[in-house]
Structure 1
Amino acid sequence: MYFTSNHATSSDYGPRSQERMSYSLFINAAVLLLFALISWRYWRFTLAPSLHPEFPKELPYWIPGHARAFFRDSNDLLSRARRHFNDTEEPIALTAFGMTFYVVTQAKHSAEVYKNKDTLSFEDFVQGLMRTNGNKESVVKIMYSALPTNKLGFPNPLGESLGVLAQKMHAHQLHPGSQLALLQQQVHSRIDYLLRLETLDKMCTYAGSRSADHIELPLYQWCSDYFIRLGQHVYFGETLDQIDPTLPDAFLVFDEVIWKMLYQYPDFLSHDMSRARAQVIISLKKYFEIPQSQRISGTAWLITAMEDEMRALGVDNDNLAVLVFHLYFA
């Protein structure tokens, strides 16, 4: 006689059975997570944009975003974003490190961005750069605190901060008048000097070949070098060049990797940028340590006027050099 039982034996709940249950739970969890990820991506980059066509389109990504591509080559990432949208000229967006960047490529859109002071703040961006490049918090506060309307120096009828007035002072320098005429005269004189064959032979150490009546130069490097030297001379005269003749070369290195500063790359990934930046700032500090009366003539009104305004607020040479550094690379 045989007896049957519906009760499971202890062996049914052995290691193999538990292993199968764990594997099944893992598969179910993985499928659930994958479904959630696909649903999120469909919502984020397909459905939501169709419901809000007024917002810039965003370059699709899988979590954690475009951080790796951004670190590898941010310019290539921006180019890839444009190609993804068929080289659109409309603003586009991309996400990296949890932040959304908006890319503007048309001049008319850039103008709209600068005019839009209600929802976009250029001052916050500038203050962030000041902190990143070494300005003390007290100096940031001083530069963006309202000043009296009857202060000495550059007129301030609206009682604005020096950070805001600096933009107006730059516009004043470039406004038709005696200051602009003097600037144009210096530009013409310097262009004539920089384009002489003997000057090119002396300054362009990167020339491919040269002789008494010709010189061969890499166009991109020469154009970059040319405009850096021209701008430095027009604004700072001969003094800064005498302090550090290699300054244009250092700035050219900095300019090639300036995006590491703008996107606040960590120090261990941006030694090339930080070394070049430090050289420029140190040279500017040496420049401002020289009394104005002892500097060689040719300094633009803007540099002297901004120095006077900042010194009147108690800004020391270290912070003054960092502040003017932003004008140098702008």
Structure 2
Amino acid sequence: MALDFNRTLASMIERFGKSRRPFAITVAGDKFYVITDPKHVAEIYRNEKTLSSERITRIIHNQSGMSSEAVDKLFKVNTSASHNKLHPRPLPPVGLMLESLRQHLAPSELLDRLLDNSTIPLVRQAIDLKWQDFAAPQELEDGTRVLSLKLLCIEAMVRGVVESFYGPTLWELQPDFVHWYMLWERVNWKYLFGIPGFLSKDMIQAKEVMIDLFVKYFSLPPAKRPGASAWILETEDILIEGGMSTEDLGRAMMLQTWAVLGNLYKTAFWMVSYIVYDRKLLEAIREEITPAISGDRVHHHCLNKECPRLDSLLAEVLRISVSMPLVRHITDDTVIGGSTFRKGNNVMISYHQLHLNKDAWGANADGFQADRFLNKTSLKSSLSYRPFGGGSGLCPGRQYARETTFSFIAMLLSRYDLTLATEEAGSSGGGKAHEVKKPRFPQPDYSKPVVGVTAPGEQEDITIRLTPRVLV
């Protein structure tokens, strides 16, 4: 069982960090300076000279099974590399991969093509309930389907999205990819903590199955991988030019795929959960998204720019659910907020604690408020709001994630009347009619460190009813 990571960190911050000054803790022999002041966080993002992400990036790749020599190649700058001709300063392959992802997933014609021609049609298949994995939805006589919200989000945002990047060949090589990926999602905290192999057999098995898949995938010539996205092909070219073997390419792309998929299904799950528990919110968002739906076509630019309630909901979901810590290695003595951080140690930012800072968010900072950002969009610029990180590490896929998630919700609400399938009845007393009580809201699992958005607990889910809407 994982230690309750966020609760332990919150307890330390409560004990040592009320003044918002940095304090130090030691974990597994490494010293971490914990940062809780938003102004100090901003200083860290601006400092790329003495605060480095390279050490943690090397560790993550080494743990995938790459040799030290292979990891060195990721950080070796080749000034004559063809992809470096596009950049003002030469970058190593690890930097070129990030720039490629940023280029393909930033607002552009490249992103529009990916969404319109691949991602949205594949996500729509899940919403059309063309299930291929897990338990099929139960169909009632009136056409209503009863199903797991969690599994719907997995079908749409894992199966649909991964195929939009890799094409259908992925399923020919490993039909059970979704199963193995979701096992990885449940146990990858062991990877992040570096838990010994004899205690991590489930994590190692899931990791190796996925790596084996990507090694087989990249062993095929491009002509036998129809539907591969431009980003996949470009990243493959970058790594091969950087001297990576096919096996190391498979290991690198397993990690890249984790980065792309890891937050989408969780974000969608939390957004739809809050919607289905609040009828007024559901109707307000449905009214907003209606102009963006024309038959099977989704106008994702409209969703992106003309849906303030949907936008506020996403912002609040990210505020309340992003719980990953950011870690940087100190390569030289560094002064932040008047405190000196010594070379060889690390700095840590807890986004979860930053987002629950009552000084910034008020007395209800730890409560969910769907309209928190609706009339005060400036909150997105708060120093205490960092759902996508910052500095050079700002999430390159944030726009893709936003428009994919918005499209999923818009298609779902436009096609179906959405209600909770399970209800609890309780007497109001005095012989009055029974009141309908909603089932308990699903609870997040804050006990484990995650990369981004916190997942619902393993047994936490919602059973929903989807009734096809009759549009007049």
Contact 2:81 2:241 in 1 (8 A): no
The residue number in structure 1 matching 2:99 is 168
Task: Decide which of 308, 324, 329 is 2:237's aligned counterpart.
Answer: 308
The code of the aligned residue for 1:193 comes to Q
User: For 1:146, what is the secondary structure of its paired residue?
Assistant: coil
Contact 2:114 2:164 in 1 (8 A): yes
Flag the 1:277–1:171 CA change in 2: closer, same or farther, 3 A: same
The residue number in structure 2 matching 1:237 is 167
The offset of 1:87, in angstroms, is 10
**Distance in 2 between the 1:194 and 1:84 partners?**
47
Contact 1:260 1:270 in 2 (8 A): yes
The residue number in structure 2 matching 1:128 is 59
Contact 1:190 1:230 in 2 (8 A): yes
Q: TM-score, normalised by structure 1?
A: 0.67
**Distance in 1 between the 2:203 and 2:144 partners?**
34
The residue number in structure 1 matching 2:72 is 141
Task: Decide which of 217, 230, 235 is 1:287's aligned counterpart.
Answer: 217
User: Counterparts in 2 of 1:84-233, with a 5 A limit?
Assistant: 94-101=25-32, 113-148=44-79, 150-153=80-83, 155-185=86-116, 186-197=118-129, 199-200=130-131, 202-205=132-135, 209-211=138-140, 213-233=143-163
Contact 2:61 2:71 in 1 (8 A): yes
The code of the aligned residue for 1:274 comes to I
**Distance in 1 between the 2:38 and 2:159 partners?**
27
The offset of 1:111, in angstroms, is 6.8
**Distance in 2 between the 1:91 and 1:228 partners?**
38
The answer to whether residue 8 in structure 2 is matched with residue 77 in structure 1 is yes
**Distance in 2 between the 1:206 and 1:113 partners?**
48
Contact 2:20 2:37 in 1 (8 A): yes
**Distance in 1 between the 2:161 and 2:148 partners?**
20
Task: Decide which of 251, 255, 273 is 1:322's aligned counterpart.
Answer: 251
The offset of 1:280, in angstroms, is 0.8
Taking only aligned residues, the RMSD between alpha carbons, in angstroms, comes to 3.1
The code of the aligned residue for 2:207 comes to R
The code of the aligned residue for 2:251 comes to V
Contact 2:134 2:151 in 1 (8 A): no
The code of the aligned residue for 1:163 comes to V
The code of the aligned residue for 1:190 comes to L
Q: Which has the higher contact order (CA 8 A, sep 6+)?
A: 2
The code of the aligned residue for 2:149 comes to L
**Distance in 1 between the 2:152 and 2:44 partners?**
32
The offset of 1:77, in angstroms, is 3.2
The code of the aligned residue for 1:296 comes to P
User: Counterparts in 2 of 1:32-51, with a 5 A limit?
Assistant: none
**Distance in 2 between the 1:76 and 1:135 partners?**
33
The offset of 1:261, in angstroms, is 0.6
The residue number in structure 1 matching 2:414 is none
List per-residue Cα deviations over 1:66-101 (Å, max 9, x = no partner).
Answer: xxxx95443553455567689999987653322345
Contact 1:253 1:276 in 2 (8 A): yes
Flag the 1:173–1:103 CA change in 2: closer, same or farther, 3 A: farther
The code of the aligned residue for 1:164 comes to G
User: For 2:26, what is the secondary structure of its paired residue?
Assistant: strand
**Distance in 2 between the 1:120 and 1:255 partners?**
29
The code of the aligned residue for 1:321 comes to G
List per-residue Cα deviations over 1:115-151 (Å, max 9, x = no partner).
Answer: 4322321122111111111112221111111111x43
The code of the aligned residue for 1:189 comes to P
The code of the aligned residue for 1:326 comes to L
List per-residue Cα deviations over 1:199-244 (Å, max 9, x = no partner).
Answer: 13x434275x444723333323442443222331121121112211
**Distance in 1 between the 2:127 and 2:233 partners?**
28
The answer to whether residue 201 in structure 2 is matched with residue 271 in structure 1 is yes
The code of the aligned residue for 1:236 comes to Y
- Percent identity, aligned pairs only? 24
Contact 1:92 1:103 in 2 (8 A): yes
The answer to whether residue 179 in structure 2 is matched with residue 254 in structure 1 is no
**Distance in 2 between the 1:136 and 1:267 partners?**
17
Q: TM-score, normalised by structure 2?
A: 0.48
Larger radius of gyration: 1
**Distance in 2 between the 1:282 and 1:106 partners?**
43
The offset of 1:313, in angstroms, is 2.8
**Distance in 2 between the 1:106 and 1:206 partners?**
48
Flag the 1:293–1:274 CA change in 2: closer, same or farther, 3 A: same
**Distance in 2 between the 1:252 and 1:106 partners?**
35
Flag the 1:238–1:111 CA change in 2: closer, same or farther, 3 A: farther
